Amino acid sequence: MDFLAHEGGGSDDGHEQSDEEVTRWEREQMKKGVSSHKVEMLERERAKMEAVMKAIRSSMELPPENREQLPMEMDIDFSESDMLSLSQTGRVSGKTIAVSLKEILSKLQQRKKDGKESVNAREAEFERTTAQIQENKEMISKLEMEEPRIRERFQVYQDIRAYARDLLECLSEKISEVKDLESRMAEILDGRARRLRTRRRNDVHDMYDECSAAAAGRPLHQRAPEVSQRAAEREARRSRRRRLRENTLEGVSHEEGLSTDDEETNSEIIARQQSIDEIRAAANVIFVDALDDFCRIDRILSRFVDWLAHDEESFVNAYVHLCIPKLISLFIRLELIDWGPLENDSRPVNSMRWYEDLIGCAAVSSNINVEHPILVSLIPLCIEKVVLWKITDLIRERWDPLSQHQCRNLGFLLNQLIDECPTLVPSSRPVQKLLQTICLRAQDAIDEDLFVPIYSKQAVENPATGCKAFLDRQTWTSVKLIRCLNCLSAVLSEEKMRELVLDGIVNRVMPALQCATISDQSMIRKCRALMKLIPAAWRENNTRIALRNFNDLLGKVAEEHKNNREFVKEVKKFVIVNKCC
């Protein structure tokens, strides 16, 4: 209707209204025209950008983008300055940040690099996971195949664990009984050794007191009853030994002081033997209430040998072979209760039952070599950790360094053990303790038993004083002690032997010999005995006082007995060798 009115020329009001509408319409049309132009410019800019991106994608081999144009309805106002700038540069301006092509390429390359690294990491993780899966499958298959063997091994562990617990309980109950028997046996045998040692030393002191009183011209007061009794018993024993030598060693010379005074009365021997028999009987029934699996060494070892045969690695890692000697030590100690290698060598170590059981322990299993190093080492370990301590106790309490019989047996026993056991080396703690005990007992005998006093020549030449007889006895006792210690020369070091023999014994005897009557024929025998006991190797260190004093004594005796050409020749040879060394 407005249109008709306008066409028909309406009133002024209608005309004004029509002008306003036309103006608004024209403005809207102009606005639309400008917007379309801007859209066309944006489309051109987009086309340029797509061309650039296409070039970049072709160079970087990126997946193509979706080029489909999306419908857009845009109503954007641009100023004339914006239009002018856009037309001049060909870039979108406004609030956006200017980005160069180089920066875009750099960012894209970084994204590509990060993507590759991510892909590589995931591929590596995938490969690891795949390998782990494969490894787990193989492990599962392997465990399934080894399940019977592992089950058997586990059963062995459980059996040995239960058996070891029961065995330890059994041994814990019996150890007090074994210790009691050991104490009773030690009280009997150690007591005998102490009595003999004390008796010998009392006899020496009694004879010294008598000789000293006679040499000083003092009247001997009435003896105490115990002194008189000791003197009577001493002379009776010497008479019996003298008669025995005359009957058995006819024509063989003997010097007083070389024999060992270890005689006992029959009543003492019988009483001691009865006590020993009682202890032996008690030892035989200690394990009478225990099963054979817990009281026989061969049965005990069979359990551990089975373990060794099934799984040697775990056996070694558990150090079981080092624990076995301690585990069976109670049975070894029980068999060694009445063992007396010093007095009687009829029971060597290799003849004992525990020794034989250890030798035959490998025979109980056919799955192990009898020469297996662990099995072979059991005997040396038991000797080192059990037997050697027993021998050390015997040496400390019962060994008499003045008994040639005991010293020979001890030397033979130690030499045999050292030859058979490679573990008995000087660095071994039991060996060190044994050698230390031997040296202490030898030094104790030198200090307490080797008492050689010095008397005046008048007292020695006077037979009534008894000084000469006492000196002769003590001198020959010194010679006997050197002979006894020489039985251990293979065990003790050469330097220790020199210290004991030269510095300890010869040095003590020299003053008494130098004050003795040199013209006496017994001096030749004494000097010869000492020369035989001093090896040439010991004379290398001729700075020792004992050797110098002995050389001086030999010169005096040879000069006094120069008619004895054989003796003089022996002295010259000894002295020359000594000087050459």
Check residue 271 and give its pLDDT: 94
Instruction: For residues 409 and 359, give the distance between their C-alpha atoms in angstroms, rounded to a whole number.
Output: 25
The parent domain of residue 531 ranges over 450-581
- Domain annotation covers residue 387: no
Mean per-residue pLDDT of the chain: 83
Binned at pLDDT 50, 70 and 90, residue 258 comes out as confident
**What does the pLDDT look like over 379-416, one tens digit per residue?**
999 999 999 999 999 999 999 999 999 999 999 999 99
Cβ burial of 119 (10 Å; 0-12, 13-18, 19+) is exposed
Give the residue from 546, 547, 537, 543 showing the smallest Cα distance to 575.
547
Among 46-50, 159-163, 229-233, the range with the most confident prediction by mean pLDDT is 159-163
Q: Which amino acid is at 516?
A: A
Instruction: For residues 224 and 552, give the distance between their C-alpha atoms in angstroms, rounded to a whole number.
Output: 43
Check residue 1 and give its pLDDT: 45
Binned at pLDDT 50, 70 and 90, residue 32 comes out as low
Check residue 323 and give its pLDDT: 92
Check residue 367 and give its pLDDT: 73
CA count, 13 A, side-chain hemisphere, 450? 29
Q: pLDDT at residue 279 above 90?
A: yes
Binned at pLDDT 50, 70 and 90, residue 167 comes out as very high
- Domain annotation covers residue 503: yes
Check residue 456 and give its pLDDT: 82
Binned at pLDDT 50, 70 and 90, residue 220 comes out as low
Check residue 221 and give its pLDDT: 63
Task: Provide the number of structural domains found in the chain.
Answer: 2
- Domain annotation covers residue 497: yes
Question: 50 versus 288: which is more confidently predicted?
Answer: 288
Check residue 8 and give its pLDDT: 47
Phi first, then psi, for residue 63 (nearest 5°) are: -65, 145
Pair of tokens at residue 74: 């845009």
- Domain annotation covers residue 213: no
Q: pLDDT at residue 28 above 70?
A: yes
- Domain annotation covers residue 34: yes
Residues 6+ apart with CB under 8 A from 399: 193, 342, 406, 410, 438, 441
Question: 348 versus 221: which is more confidently predicted?
Answer: 348
Among 168-182, 223-237, 336-350, 465-479, the range with the most confident prediction by mean pLDDT is 168-182
Question: 54 versus 9: which is more confidently predicted?
Answer: 54
**What does the pLDDT look like over 419-463, one tens digit per residue?**
989 889 989 999 999 999 999 999 999 999 888 888 888 888 888
Q: pLDDT at residue 6 above 50?
A: no
Check residue 298 and give its pLDDT: 92
Report the share of the chain in percent with pLDDT over 90.
43
Check residue 262 and give its pLDDT: 80
- Quick check: 525 and 476 in contact, CB under 8 A? no
Q: pLDDT at residue 7 above 80?
A: no
3-state secondary structure 409-472: HHHHHHHHHHHHCCCCCCCCHHHHHHHHHHHHHHHHHHHHCCCCCCCCHHHHHCHHHCHHHHHH
Residues 6+ apart with CB under 8 A from 259: 241, 245
Check residue 86 and give its pLDDT: 46
> What element of type H or E holds 209?
helix 101-215
- Domain annotation covers residue 19: yes
Check residue 577 and give its pLDDT: 59
Give the residue from 196, 422, 156 showing the smallest Cα distance to 302.
156
Q: pLDDT at residue 303 above 80?
A: yes
**What does the pLDDT look like over 319-372, one tens digit per residue?**
998 999 999 999 999 999 999 999 988 889 999 999 999 988 877 666 778 888
Question: 64 versus 204: which is more confidently predicted?
Answer: 204
- Domain annotation covers residue 167: no
Q: pLDDT at residue 19 above 60?
A: yes
Q: How far is CA 221 from CA 117, 209, 239, 459, in A?
A: 116, 11, 26, 19
- Domain annotation covers residue 434: no
